[in-house]
Amino acid sequence: MGIAMIKPALMAVSGVCWSVTYISLIRNGFRERTCGMPLFALGLNICWEALYTFDGFVSNPSDIQTWINAIWACLDIAIIVAWVRYGRALLPAPARRHFAAFTTLALITCAMAQLAFYLRFDNTVEASQYSAFAQNAVMSVLFLTHLWNRGDGRGQTMTMAIAKCLGTLAPTILGGLIESLNVYILLMGAICLIFDLLYIGQLHALQRQTTDDLARLAQQGTR
């Protein structure tokens, strides 16, 4: 299989896997009345997608990545709605008292971070790549610490966790090895992979423990 075939295949894997991640977060978030994505991960995501969707439609509306970004942005809007409805309980007490202000500040902060990358690079492709891998590394850490802090996996599933991992691994291979040897992308991708695998393992252990606890309670109830 030549590079000409590998590139669209890896782009498709990334697009599908991240879409599955978002849809799973939306579905389980509203069903379980929570938000499975940490606030700053959500902010970085939607700001990146909105920025590069706008830039893509202005500069290259026929590019498939522009349309993928637009789909992701629409899905993230639904996750924002879940955050607004259920996110207050996920914050520390001081932030809960100023939920709207803190959420707004978080989104503004994330937008400024994305603009910093966008304005620093003359090449939009490089800006999108470097900012995407930086935010994905942050997101991978946040998902793991979010899981630990909550102590439960509500709003999150193994399907989502695995899809998220593959959705980042595919562009790491594409941008770090196939298109060119890019050490930045490889290192950031390695950070994502390490924390994504830790997250998958921790989520699996937590869900198994929850299942065992429920089975134990059911047995006690039948005695």
8 Å CB contact between 26 and 157: no
Spans of all domains in the chain: 3-221
**Mind listing the pLDDT tens digit for each residue in 42-87?**
999 999 999 999 999 999 898 888 999 999 999 999 999 999 999 9
Q: Cα separations (Å) of 196 from 32, 42, 172, 193? A: 23, 16, 13, 5
Q: Cα separations (Å) of 98 from 39, 64, 79? A: 14, 40, 20
163/25 Cα distance (integer angstroms): 11
27/217 Cα distance (integer angstroms): 27
**What is the pLDDT, as a whole number, of residue 222?**
59
The whole model's pTM is what? 0.89
Output the average pLDDT for the chain. Answer: 92
**Mind listing the pLDDT tens digit for each residue in 142-166?**
999 999 998 888 889 999 999 999 9
- Nearest by Cα to 12 from 74, 55, 62, 67: 67
> Is residue 213 predicted with pLDDT exceeding 60?
no
> Is residue 217 predicted with pLDDT exceeding 70?
no
